[in-house]
Amino acid sequence: MSFRTLRTFHYRNLADAEIELSAPEIFFVGENGQGKTNLLEAIYFLCFGASFRTRADSLLLRHGEREMSLQGAYVAGAERGEILAKIDGAAKEIRLNGKVVRDRKELLAASPCIVFSHDDLLFVSGSPEERRRFLNQTMSLHDPLFIDLLRRYHRLLKLRNAALRERRRDLVELYDGELAESGLSIQERRERASGEFNEIFRPLFRSISGLDGELDLRYAPSWRRGARPEEIRSLLGSRYETDCELGTTSSGPHRDRLHFSLAGRDFSKSASTGQLRLMSLILRICQASYFSKATGRKPLLLLDDVLLELDPVRRERFIGALPASDQVVYTFLPDERYAAFRSSSTIVYRVEKGAIIG
């Protein structure tokens, strides 16, 4: 899908404006702190009803304002539509073609986008939770059932942990059975998805990085592979005392891990910053390809200052490896050689002090 226009009102530091976006590539060029990333964030917000930079929606309001709104007209295949997002005080409302969106996952069906940002580094070098987030995100993009499964699992986990803290063995056992069942479903799906993902990731990493050896994304589930629900139930039962003392459930998909292994060794520990950066970018490319493969749809790509950190050779290879998309939006610093990447249809905007100046 692609956006035709974006309208912003009282949004961050951006001047209220309607911006024309009818082109396969959009470049936002400007110094740091002028509002380039805010523009990407606005598009992302329309796609997912949330920001990729903060969970606090109040930060999206211009300083001193109580309300803000974003509006985007999009095209997806033969369909034309409009997304409207409003924040008024603490209330958030998103409308898709005039209808109020009750669950953000409804938006996924209309408007997937994939953002390449600096924080993606956490997917490869961050905590296990950050890495799981990548896998969850990749799977949720095309599978709303996985979102439901995750929500159910986390709700059960919360209830079980509350029961543990009160040492209610009868309730804990009740949740064990349900937790085992939905947890194993998550594990099974993650196992399958990470295998399929690897098929895309391995060759792509080799061709872009030029490194010898295979880099593997390895999924290490907390529970035994192929375990039956009864086995997990008795495992949870056997850890009842420990879990009570910890006040939390010590095993399950919320403890799964992801490793990047090169010739059997954990690559995240030995990789240089540049290599980690490259890995995170390639993960995003694969996420987009994986989405396209699973759905037959092309995502919208948002690239936030990512080319800056790559050497010229890898930059070329990276651009060459970007998956087919309906639209790509880049941010650049003024002294970057962005002209090399533009085509005749590219729209280039200069961004200064929150305004588009041409």
Name the segment binding other proteins (CB under 8 A); options: 21-29, 111-119, 126-134, 170-178: 170-178
CB of 133 to other proteins, least distance (A): 22
Provide the β-strand partners of residue 215.
Answer: 262
191 makes contact with other proteins (CB under 8 A):
no
Name which position in 66, 80, 155, 228 contacts other proteins (CB under 8 A).
Answer: 155
Name the segment binding other proteins (CB under 8 A); options: 13-21, 57-65, 141-149, 347-355: 141-149
Name which position in 144, 169, 239, 261 contacts other proteins (CB under 8 A).
Answer: 144
CB of 174 to other proteins, least distance (A): 6
Name which position in 33, 58, 80, 158 contacts other proteins (CB under 8 A).
Answer: 158
Name which position in 162, 294, 333, 348 contacts other proteins (CB under 8 A).
Answer: 162
CB of 192 to other proteins, least distance (A): 16
Residues 15-44 that bind other proteins (CB under 8 A): none
Considering the complex, state which of residue 155 and residue 353 has its C-beta at the smaller distance from other proteins. Answer: 155
Name the segment binding other proteins (CB under 8 A); options: 24-32, 158-166, 230-238, 312-320: 158-166
Name the segment binding other proteins (CB under 8 A); options: 50-58, 154-162, 300-308, 320-328: 154-162
Task: Name the residue with tokens 């300083």.
Answer: 63
177 makes contact with other proteins (CB under 8 A):
yes
170 makes contact with other proteins (CB under 8 A):
yes
Which residues in this chain contact other proteins in the complex, by CB under 8 A? Answer: 144-145, 148, 152, 155-156, 158-159, 162-163, 165-166, 168, 170-171, 174-175, 177-178
